[in-house]
Structure formats: C-alpha cells, structure tokens
Amino acid sequence: MLTAHQILELTEARREIDLLRRQLQDRGTFGELVGNSEAMRQVYALIEQVAPSSPSVLITGESGTGKELVARTIHKLSPRKERPFVAINCSAIPETLMESELFGHEKGAFTGAASRRQGCFELADTGTLLLDEIAEMPPLLQAKLLRVIEERQVRRLGGKQEISIDVHLLAATNRDPEEAVHKGTLRRDLLYRLNVIRIHVPSLRDRKEDLPLLAQHLVTQLAEKHGRPACFLSPAALSALQFHAWPGNVRELRNVIERAVIICSGEQVERHHFAPYPIEQRERLRQEDTISFPVGAPLEEVERLMILRTLDKTNNNKTRAAELLGISLKTLHNKLNLYRERGQMDSAES
C-alpha cells in the first residue's frame, strides 16, 4: 500500500507529465528534448511509461543523440526528482578505479585510500543512477554489478558490511547490445537485467524533420548563453544544415551552431558562418544524383541550391550547367553575381 507521501509524489510526477504534453503540443519540445517527429514522439511515450515507476531502462543510440538527456528527463518526471541524479561514464574511468567509483571503498582498502569514500550507488540512493557506455565496463566488474542489481545491496571495497541501496538504474550504450553480447563485451545475463525497458534515441539523420525546430532552439539557447545578438537562421543557413549528414548527431549540430552564434555579429545566422561545413556539404552533394527540399522552402532558395548543385555536378562548367538547367549562360552569370553580392556563396563556389 502506498503511503500518503508516495501518493503525493506520483501525483506531482503525473502533473509534470501533463505539463510536458502541453509543451510538446505548443512548442514541439518535451522538457529539454526537442523534436516533434514520430520517432521522437515514440521516445516521449516510453519516457512517460517508465518515469512513474522504477524499472531498469537501457537507452541505446549513436554518440551525440542525447541519451543522457533522456535519462535526466526520466528522472525529472519521476517521484525521485528531488533526490540525487548520478551519472558515470564507464569508458572514461580507468579499470583499476572503476570498482571504487561504483561501490566505494573503506579507508586503507588500497594504496592511496586515505579515507572512506561512497560509491555511485550510495550517492544515488533513493534517486537515479545512469551507467553510461555500459558495454565498456570490464566483464569481471559486470558480474559484481549484476549481483548488486539482484540483491539491492552494495559492499564497499575493503568493507565487510552490506549496505542496502534503492536506486532507479538506467544504462546507456552507443553499441548494438546484442552485438556486444555476441562479441563478449557485455554479459548476456546483465543485458537481461538492464533491458526491462529499452528506449532507442534516433539519429539526427533519421529525424531530419526536427532539424529546423532543433536548430532554432539551439540558436536561441546559445545566443543567450554567450550574450550574442543572433536570433534566427536565414533560409540559406537552414538549407545548408539540412543537407549535412550529421555523423555526430545533435552534439555536432550544437557545436556548429555555437560557433556560428559566437562569430555572428548580427541577428541572422548566415550559411557562411558554418564554414567549413558547407565544403563538406558540397563534397557530399557531388556524390549524389538527386536533391530534395523541405516542404515550404522559398522558391528563390530552391533555385539557388539547384543552380549551385548543378555546378557541383558539372565541376563548375558553367556552359554545361546552363544547358542542364535550361537557361542562358548570361542568366546563369547574373544569378551567380547576385548570390555573391548577397554573400550566399563561399570562396570555393565563387
């Protein structure tokens, strides 16, 4: 039977979820997560389902997709939101220190252990613990972790006493979990314990329809952070972003926009502020035979990109490009001169 305090916490968590649902409908955001695509809506739905309770959750996805942000959102929407949230990156800690980081140690447990130290499980007690890059954890330590998960007790390194812990355990990996099991880097029984609920965070290239909303959100956020005047993206800048492959996902997009916001002296971020990324875009376009545009793209911008795309395909042979486009060479030169005057071409295209 739930206590009055637990009922109050669940009620508050549900109220927070209702608030985020309205926020999603109005602004296309879900807490700190941004996107209104079907792929992201599936992520939000799973977050809503797991947040009120405490099942183990495995969060998968490529590097830079926002797996830790998903974990923090689960914590924020849970009855544990006022309790600690602790995240540890299993690939960033030396193997010799990993056990101490997780489980803690007693004074004198090893050379350099000058005092007792709590591990991540104790620090996250009554709250949420995220084990990021779980497939990078040494196999021997995975066995000890499995015991802690099953018994809900932890023993510090060099200690004799079992300490009861209550944590909502989340794990994340940028690897395919089944492939990691097949290769022997992730224990199968540990995967079973962690994979009660799986949330896959899609790559940015698989939710390109979210890019305009996400990019504008980042411009606003980062301009405020750095005290810069940038307010929005020009159509040409947005088009340049939409053609990039984004192998680094949202993290890469954030880095590109942060640089652009810092060097932009006006209110509008332009395409040339993303250099050298337009060069990468141009090389990618040379390898493709088709070009697509988002619905509602300005016709003037569609024309500009089509002209530049055709020049790329003809290796800057303007006569051949004009023939393919069905326009005169003079018209092509006039268009290119106009783009140069507007700053819509970088030096490699001039």
> What tens digit of pLDDT does each residue of 244-286 get?
878 899 999 999 999 999 999 999 999 889 877 654 554 454 4
pLDDT at 281: 52
Amino acid at 82: E
**pLDDT at site 251:** 95
Q: What does pLDDT average to in each consecutive run of 10 residues of the chain (350 residues)?
A: 54 62 66 92 94 94 96 94 96 89 87 86 97 94 94 92 96 96 95 96 93 94 96 86 86 95 94 71 52 73 85 80 86 88 59
Note whether 226 and 267 are within 8 A (CB). Answer: no
Q: In angstroms, rounded to a whole number, what is the distance separating the alpha carbons of residues 67 and 200?
A: 9
> What confidence score (pLDDT) does residue 347 get?
40
pLDDT score at 225: 96
Residue 252: Cβ within 10 Å count: 17
Structure tokens at 132: 């990021």
pLDDT of residue 144: 94
Task: Evaluate if pTM is beyond 0.95.
Answer: no
Alpha helices in the chain (DSSP H): 4-27, 38-50, 67-76, 95-103, 120-123, 139-151, 177-183, 188-194, 211-226, 235-243, 249-263, 277-286, 299-313, 318-325, 329-341
Phi, psi of 98 (to 5 degrees): -60, -45
Task: Tell me how far apart the alpha carbons of residues 144 and 36 are, in angstroms, rounded to a whole number.
Answer: 40
Q: What gap in Å lies between CA 1 and CA 128, rounded to an integer?
A: 22
Stretch (H or E) spanning 131: strand 128-132
What confidence score (pLDDT) does residue 348 get?
41
What tokens does 46 get?
């799973």
For residue 244, how many C-alpha atoms fall within 13 Å in the half-sphere facing its CB?
27
